[in-house]
Copies of this chain bind each other. A is one copy, B any other.
Amino acid sequence: MRISELSRRSGVPVATIKYYLREELLPAGVATSATQAEYDDHHLRRLRLARALIAVRGLSVSTTREVLRALDEHSTDLHLLFGLALGAVVPTDEPDSPSDQPQEPTPADELISALGWEISEKAPTRATITDTIHTLRELGLPADWQTLVPYARLAERTADLDLAQLEDAEDPLERVERAVLLTILLEPVLLALRRMAQENESAKRHPRPDTGPDTD
């Protein structure tokens, strides 16, 4: 198919597809002449995937590029893919400690070793944890890595569910793509579930007197 059909079938404007091609979110089509190129189902699939990450999940174009690149390069090695912590949430990078020497373990390090987890050293998720604990403490909350241990145990079980979803996929390519989609697209959902569970639980514990069993 040519670009207009790719556009029609994906719902993405031609100009945007061209932009994505420039940004290397999509591989170039096979050029059949100076002004013609042929795209196939692989491109369509890629495009839909990219759009989902950008429009549904809200990833930036550059983050999406990294995710897609990692998908290509680590189509095996699932845990290596996970270790990249692709498209993690935290956008800021304040190099609070520009040191080189091996400093004392951060709260994240302590947490991870207390959990007995095997986590890559350079995982950006470590910084997220340490930074957040730091911020919470600055704001007067009693936060430390011990607080996070029960959360981490629940995260383990969440990850179990995630990995179970991948069992049915036999094709390894299918498998990594699913892993990425489940990991990234489910993130807003998991947070939404938490919000709703908070609302539900809080309402249960402190019921409004006037909002009884609805007679409406």
Do B141 and A195 touch (CB < 8 A)? no
Assembly CA distance A39 to B121 (angstroms): 44
Do B197 and A155 touch (CB < 8 A)? yes
Number of A interface residues at 8 Å Cβ cutoff, please give it.
81
**Would you give the 0/1 interface string for A169-185, flagging 1 where the beta carbon is closer than 8 Å to chain B?**
00000000010011101
Assembly CA distance A157 to B198 (angstroms): 9
Chain A contact residues, CB within 8 Å of chain B? 48-49, 52, 55-58, 77-79, 82-83, 85, 88-92, 94, 112, 117-120, 123, 125-126, 128-129, 131-132, 135-136, 138-139, 141-142, 147-148, 150-152, 154-163, 165, 168, 178, 181-183, 185-206, 208
A98 to chain B: closest CB distance in Å? Answer: 17
Assembly CA distance A207 to B131 (angstroms): 30
